[in-house]
Amino acid sequence: MDPMVTVAQGQLRGHEKDGVRSFLGIPYADEPFGERRFAAPAPARAWSGIREATEFGATAPKPGYAPPIDALLPDPQVAGQGCLNLNVWTPQDAADLPVLVWIHGGAFVNGSGAVPIYDGTAFARDGVACVSINYRLGVDGFGAVTDAVPNRGLLDQVAALTWVRDNIAQFGGDPARVTIAGESAGAMSIGTLLSMPLAEGLFRRAILQSGAGHHTLTPATAERVIADVAHRLGVEPTASGLGSVPVADLVAAQAAVSESILTAPDPARWAEITVNLMAFEPIVDGDIVPQRPIDAIVGGASADIEVLVGSNLDEHALFLVPNGFAAMVDENLLRSMLPALGADAATLIDTYRSDRPDATPGELMTAIYTDWFFRLPAVRLAEARSALGLDTHSYEFAWRSPQFDGALGACHALEIGFTFDNLADPQGRPMTGNHPPQALADSMHAAWVSFIREGRPGWPPYGAERNVMRFDETNALVSDPRPAERSVWAGIR
């Protein structure tokens, strides 16, 4: 018999397989279109009868990944306006289980909770109620629309967490033991949620994979982005102006703006986006996001939250290897690109080359940009919390994919299949190759489950020793990995 659950909005019928129950496409907020376009999320409407919850719900409007990334990161698109939905996996006869809420990545313009590798079956198998959510993306979620509430995508995440608090017990989860986790833009969202008064009390623990508290936009920069989008469409940058445009046209315009920034970066116009590389990010609006998240965390925000944070060894290889750019980088191009990061190019190159004497210019670029974009924000978050006496656990994922003749390395997003213990999914093979090490997935997934249950992943906190668990074919606890490369960014990043 199919499992049934009653939530605040009505009855749901899910699916059960091998002792795991799934309920998919559950609305946590009203459809964000029509009169609700560019508004804060409103509670989901009640329904009569039994709602089928056996298929993923609509995904937020998005452009999709461009080649060649689209072959490496599956990102299903499901049509419909009810995109503010979530999915729940629990074991049979669940009660008082710890809860994991997964916030997807995708540079704030792509992704959804329906991505195959986010299937929560393994977490449910191991006694965790797993939830994945959708939230508004791009202009709809993060555009600085003139007469609209800002940071709508973050407000969606808060609405989803509120729904989880109010309803997860019906699925067997404990609302007092919620861990939020995410990767890339999902982790950057979590770094922001750690700083937001509206999110207080909605979660107990946080896992940040390849993202932390540095990636935000000022209102002025965000307003220039939305003005460019509106100009391309021939409308005003208001809710009525942008809302009058077909959704597909709006998504195409936002993608065109993003592409124009990448191909012709202009620091005088685009400011932080020229190095952040994302046209849509959380906006430090002074209210919903009171200040840059890392600054709030340094000041003690979310001191009651237990945190696990880390990054991958070769994050930027995902963006530089499949498209062939890394192979084209020479010494002159490398030196010309680095000053935008705020550090002396010669000093950076000398520091990173000392640990990599045989590295090509493209490999040095990968290492340097990986640190600036992903590793250093994770380090600063761990440092800030450690300075306040707060236990924070840190990791580094170092297993190198054999793909692209090994050049893909331990790239961005590669660790997700290991933490979800979903290596068997064939859609992950373009990144992992055909024989990823299951033993590594066993150890990483077990560490994540332990942290979700108890706040302890199985190694000492970062602390004065700068402890970092390195996950590889053989795992090892490392004290202050690559200290010279960390130190070269002092006062810069």
- The candidate with the shortest Cα–Cα distance to 406, out of 375, 431, 373, 369, is 431
Cα four-point dihedral sign 279, 312, 330, 433? negative
50-52 vs 10-13, strand pairing mode: parallel
Which residues face 91 on adjacent strands? 20
Phi and psi angles of residue 68, each rounded to the nearest 5 degrees, phi first: -90, 0
Whole-angstrom CA distances from 138 to 85, 154, 230, 279 are: 17, 12, 13, 8
Per-residue pLDDT of the chain (493 residues), as tens digits, is: 899 999 999 999 999 999 999 999 999 999 999 999 999 999 999 999 999 999 999 999 999 999 999 999 999 999 999 999 999 999 999 999 999 999 999 999 999 999 999 999 999 999 999 999 999 999 999 999 999 999 999 999 999 999 999 999 999 999 999 999 999 999 999 999 999 999 999 999 999 999 999 999 999 999 999 999 999 999 999 999 999 999 999 999 999 999 999 998 999 999 999 999 999 999 999 999 999 999 999 999 999 999 999 999 999 999 999 999 999 999 999 999 999 999 999 999 999 999 999 999 999 999 999 999 999 999 999 999 999 999 999 999 999 999 999 999 999 999 999 999 999 999 999 999 999 999 999 999 999 999 999 999 999 999 999 999 999 999 999 999 999 999 999 999 9
Phi and psi angles of residue 387, each rounded to the nearest 5 degrees, phi first: -65, -25
Residue with structure tokens 């990995």?
Answer: 481
Distance CA 29, CA 45 (A): 7
Catalytic residue list = 184, 315, 412
Which pLDDT does position 1 carry in this prediction? 82
Whole-angstrom CA distances from 377 to 198, 324, 398, 412 are: 23, 27, 18, 15
Which pLDDT does position 428 carry in this prediction? 97
Residue with structure tokens 């979310």?
Answer: 302
Q: Hey, what long-range contacts does 377-380 have (CB within 8 A, 24 or more apart)?
A: 377/191, 377/211, 377/212, 377/213, 377/214, 377/215, 377/294, 377/493, 378/208, 378/210, 378/212, 378/309, 378/310, 378/311, 379/486, 380/212, 380/213, 380/214, 380/294, 380/493
Phi and psi angles of residue 286, each rounded to the nearest 5 degrees, phi first: 85, -5
97-103 vs 173-183, strand pairing mode: parallel
Cβ proximity of 413 and 184 under 8 Å: yes
Which pLDDT does position 415 carry in this prediction? 98
Phi and psi angles of residue 245, each rounded to the nearest 5 degrees, phi first: -95, 140
Provide the whole-model pTM: 0.98
Distance CA 112, CA 42 (A): 20
Q: Which domains does the chain have, with CATH numbers?
A: 4-218+281-304 (3.40.50.1820), 219-276 (no CATH), 307-487 (3.40.50.1820)
Phi and psi angles of residue 484, each rounded to the nearest 5 degrees, phi first: -65, -40
Phi and psi angles of residue 268, each rounded to the nearest 5 degrees, phi first: -65, -30
12's CB contacts (< 8 A; 6+ apart) are 4, 5, 6, 23, 26, 50, 51, 53
| 304 CA to centre of own chain | 22
Distance CA 360, CA 66 (A): 26
Which pLDDT does position 327 carry in this prediction? 97
Whole-angstrom CA distances from 94 to 19, 20, 98 are: 10, 10, 10
